[in-house]
Amino acid sequence: MSFRSSFRLLLLMSASVPCSAFAQSVAAPDQTAGPDASPVAGAEKEGDIVVTGARLQAKKDIAAKREISVISDSISSDEVGTLPDFGLGEALTRVPGISTIQNNGRGEAQFLSIRGLNADYNLVEIDGVPLPANEISRRNVSLDVIPSSLAARVDVYKSMTAAMNANAIGGIANLQTRSAFDNGGKPYLGGRADIGRWDFQRTRGGNTPSGQAELVGATTFGPDHKFGVVFSGSYFRRVSASLDSASTTPLYVDPTTGQKLTSATTDVSNADVVPSVRRWLHYDNLRQRYGGLAKFEFDDHVMFKGALTFADFYHTNDEDRQANSVTPNTAVTAATNKYTYITGFTPTGGTVTSGTYAQDDDSHFFQKRGIKYSDFHGELTPGGHIKADLGVNYAIATYHQDATTAVFRIPAGTNLAYAYTITPGQFPQFNFANPDYVFNPTKYNFYDYQVTPDDQKEKALTGRTNLRINMDGADRGFGVATGLYARFVDRRYDRTVSDYTPVAGAAPLSTFSAPQTYTPYNSDGQSVMFFDPGAVTAFFNANPAKFVANTTNAQTSLQSDYTLTENIKAAYVMGRYALDNLRLTAGVRYEDTDLSTGSYNLTTIGKTTTLSYGQQGQHYHDWLPSAELDWNVTSKLRARAAFSRTLARPNYSDLAGRQTISINSGTNFVTITTGNAQLQPRRSDNYDVSLEYYANRDVLFSAAGFIKNVRNEILTVSNTVLQPYNGVTTQVTTTQPINASATVIRGVELNAVVTRFSFLPRPLDGLGIAANVTLLNPTPPSVMMTNGTLRKLSSLVESANVVGNVRAFYTIGPVTVQGAWNHLSPLLITVSTTDPTQDIRYKASDVFDAQVRVRLSRAITVVAQGKNLSDNRPTRVTGPGFGLLSEELENGRAYYLGALFRF
Closest CA to 689 of 640, 655, 630: 640
Beta strand pairing call for 171-176 and 153-157:
antiparallel
The whole-number pLDDT of residue 137 equals: 77
Q: What are the distances in angstroms from CA 441 to CA 78, 245, 353, 410?
A: 54, 21, 21, 9
The whole-number pLDDT of residue 618 equals: 92
Average pLDDT, the chain: 87
The whole-number pLDDT of residue 556 equals: 82
Q: Work out how many domains the chain is built from and give that number.
A: 1
Other C-beta atoms lying within 10 Å of the C-beta of residue 384: 10
3-state helix, strand, coil in the chain (%, to 5): 10, 55, 30
The whole-number pLDDT of residue 843 equals: 94
The whole-number pLDDT of residue 752 equals: 95
Question: Are the C-beta atoms of residues 886 and 877 closer than 8 Å to each other?
Answer: yes
Closest CA to 888 of 285, 365, 242, 100: 242
Average pLDDT estimate for 668-696: 87
The whole-number pLDDT of residue 28 equals: 30
The whole-number pLDDT of residue 604 equals: 59
The whole-number pLDDT of residue 638 equals: 96
Model confidence band, residue 107 (pLDDT cutoffs 50, 70, 90): confident
Domain limits at 718?
3-902
The whole-number pLDDT of residue 425 equals: 80
Counting Cβ atoms within 10 Å, is residue 482 exposed (0-12), middle (13-18) or buried (19+)?
A: middle
Other C-beta atoms lying within 10 Å of the C-beta of residue 627: 16
pTM here is 0.88
State the number of CA atoms in the 13 A half-sphere of 269 facing the CB: 5
pLDDT at 23 over 80: no
Least confident of 18-27, 243-252, 537-546: 18-27
Residue 331 sits in a domain whose CATH number is 2.40.170.20
pLDDT at 266 over 50: yes
Query: Rounded CA gap, 162 and 250, in Å?
Result: 50
Question: Are the C-beta atoms of residues 430 and 439 closer than 8 Å to each other?
Answer: no
State the number of CA atoms in the 13 A half-sphere of 552 facing the CB: 15
Beta strand pairing call for 562-578 and 227-246:
unpaired
Least confident of 118-122, 518-522, 606-610: 606-610
State yes or no: cis peptide before 347, omega within 30 of 0.
no
Max Cα distance, the chain (Å): 94
Q: Phi and psi for 858 in degrees, rounded to 5?
A: -65, -20
Q: What is the pLDDT of residues 442-463, one digit of tens each?
A: 999 999 999 999 999 999 999 9
